[in-house]
Amino acid sequence: MAIKTEALLIATRNAHKTEEFQAIFGHRYDVRDLTSRDDLPEVEETGTTFEENSELKATTISKRLPGILVLADDSGLEVDALDGEPGVYSARYSGPNATDASNRQRLLELLTLTNARGKERSARFRCVLTLARDGEVLHQVDGRVGGVIANQEKGDNGFGYDPLFIPDGHCETFAQLTSATKHSMSHRGRAVDALVNAMGL
């Protein structure tokens, strides 16, 4: 008789994120997401930190699904010269109709106003993962990668702020690096490693 695999619901409708988590946890969990659950709400990210938004999504969804493990993430870019912006507003930095391109343009415009140069343009990508069951947080972990913001966009790979972010120890942006190199040091990858350790897997 086959052993029933425990369900793990990713609180997202982003297929790319789901595929990443399936590759990581698929051998231990039945990994699914919200795409087939029209009965579950879109959780409004009202928190002011990655921790708050990640926890809000995980606990809200897990309350609706008794006994099911729910994993949620919140991630974005923090730029020191902009006092940590765009932070939790990374995806909508340039307004309600924001696109990746318009967000990058706004970031460069604001950095130009600060006159920050070189190491003064320090920044980090962060990802906070929260694992919850029945509305209770089981684990919350943080992954991050530091670097600087380039003066102009470079590279065609990646998405979001990748064409502007040069990780520590490299001379190329995330969008110029290979996917394998980027994933080996990414904030999400480091957060997942921390979660795997916390779960004892």
Catalytic positions are 74
Alpha helices in 115-201 (DSSP H): 179-185, 187-199
Tokens representing 80 are 């020191």
Gap between the terminal Cα atoms of the chain? 24
| Phi-psi domain of 102 (left: phi exceeds 0; alpha: psi -120 through 50; beta: other) | alpha
Measured between alpha carbons, how far is 163 from 9 in angstroms, rounded to an integer?
31
Measured between alpha carbons, how far is 102 from 68 in angstroms, rounded to an integer?
38
Tokens representing 167 are 């990780």
Backbone angles phi, psi at 187, to 5 degrees: -65, -40
